[in-house]
Amino acid sequence: MGLFDLENHLIFYRSYHFNPVNVRIHLLCIPIILISAIAMFSPVDVIGASQPFINMGSLIATTYGLYYTALDWKVGSPCLSLLVPLSYVFKKTYMGLTDEKQQSFIYAALGTHVLSWLAQFYGHGVHEKRAPALLDNLLQALVLAPFFVAFEVAFYLGYRKDLQKKMDNKAGKNVLKFRQQEKSRHK
């Protein structure tokens, strides 16, 4: 699948997230994972950057936001306009803390990050009964997961219902095929 093949990216991701409970867990945890990653990396300055607000967190936020905007500007632009200011807020907050509080800031972001990952693994193991997408395509799962969540919100608001229907139909066939393979393997 191509780098800018939005439909197939969404179908791939939906194929691993079909159970409603697992989807709800992901809708909550994926944004937390991305936001906590931006928070953790915001204190890390980019070597050679003259501005403290050009940091690893802002680079992650900008890269994700620009890529999402290139995939679909109507869903990507709000992501970009949310992520980049968040990286600024995290850096500003971190810079205003004492050394002791800075360490707590990082630990809080890390703890939230880890707990959100664990919740997702729980969702896959208990509810989806399927390994997460990241085991089949790590990069695609890490980069596209937040955009999948953004599209779930957009679908809920009525945007691109045609794409949602196509994605759900093709992913449903993929899930059915996976379940049939699992059944035949366990016989």
CA dihedral 145, 152, 154, 114 (to 10 degrees): -50
Q: What is the pLDDT of residues 162-174, one digit of tens each?
A: 999 999 999 999 9
Percent of residues, the chain, with pLDDT higher than 90: 82
> How deeply is 168 buried, as exposed, middle or buried, from its count of CB atoms within 10 A (0-12, 13-18, 19+)?
middle
Q: What is the pLDDT of residues 110-136, one digit of tens each?
A: 999 999 999 999 999 999 999 898 888
* Residue 140 pLDDT grade (very low, low, confident, very high; cuts 50, 70, 90): confident
Q: What is the pLDDT of residue 145?
A: 94
Cα-Cα end-to-end distance for the chain: 33
- Which residues share a beta bridge with 45? 55
What is the mean predicted confidence (pLDDT) over 154-160? 97
Whether 147 shows a pLDDT value over 90: the answer reads yes
Q: What is the pLDDT of residue 1?
A: 73
A 10 A CB-CB count for 14 gives: 23
Q: What is the pLDDT of residue 100?
A: 95
Whether 187 shows a pLDDT value over 80: the answer reads no
Whether 106 shows a pLDDT value over 90: the answer reads yes
Mean pLDDT of the chain: 94
Q: What is the pLDDT of residue 176?
A: 94
Enumerate the domain spans of the chain.
6-185
* Residue 87 pLDDT grade (very low, low, confident, very high; cuts 50, 70, 90): very high
Q: What is the pLDDT of residues 32-74, one digit of tens each?
A: 999 999 999 999 999 887 887 899 999 999 999 999 999 999 9
H-type alpha helices, 51-137: 56-71, 73-95, 99-122
Picking from 37, 39, 19, 42, the residue whose alpha carbon sits closest to that of residue 120 is: 19
Q: What is the pLDDT of residue 39?
A: 97
